[in-house]
Amino acid sequence: MAKEVVKKVKLQIQAGKATPAPPVGTVLGPAGINLQEFCTKYNDATRDKMGDVLPVEISIYDDRTFDFVIKTPPTAFLIKKFAKIDKGSVKGSKEVAGKLTKDQLKEIAEIKLPDLNAYTVEEAMKVVEGTARNMGVTITE
């Protein structure tokens, strides 16, 4: 018989740095799963992406076991990383906060493609470009 999913939880945790302390502990503690086991499995699975913030979707079953799926880093995080800025513009596209090249834009789109609602890299580039524009990041040739 298949296990029944009791709860689905979405978190954004730094790769390789999950600990039973907040925010992980406060969200997963009430669900009754083994926090140390989750942290160990998550840290082992994300060790190669250290420094990135990764969204994770955790499925908790009725027998207190769990599975998790690690997604690609958020688009805004990747844009800030590639543009080497701390944060986006406060005024959106009216204020320039940083610059990206077309090649960097394509690289971000290729990373994000599995999680985006797009079939080709060109479509994904348009999605990423829109996010960048709203953050005040301009795209140069």
Q: Which pLDDT band, with edges at 50, 70 and 90, does 54 fall under?
A: confident
User: Does one domain contain both 65 and 79?
Assistant: no
Decide if pLDDT at 134 tops 70: yes
Look over the chain and give the mean of its residue pLDDT values, rounded to a whole number: 81
* CB distance 87 to 80 below 8 Å: yes
Q: Phi first, then psi: what are they for 14, rounded to 5°?
A: -65, 135
Q: Which of residues 70, 103, 119 is at a domain's end?
A: 70
pLDDT tens digits, residue range 69-126? 888 888 888 888 887 887 777 777 677 777 888 888 888 888 888 887 878 888 888 8
Average pLDDT, stretch 41-70? Answer: 83
User: Does one domain contain both 65 and 96?
Assistant: no
Q: Supply the CATH number for residue 51's domain.
A: 3.30.1550.10
User: Does one domain contain both 40 and 14?
Assistant: yes
User: Does one domain contain both 57 and 106?
Assistant: no
User: Does one domain contain both 81 and 135?
Assistant: yes
User: How many structural domains compose the chain?
Assistant: 2
User: Does one domain contain both 109 and 91?
Assistant: yes
Domain hosting residue 91, numbered range: 75-140
User: Does one domain contain both 36 and 60?
Assistant: yes
Q: Which of residues 35, 54, 70 is at a domain's end?
A: 70
User: Does one domain contain both 87 and 39?
Assistant: no
CA atoms lying within 13 Å on the CB side of residue 83: 29
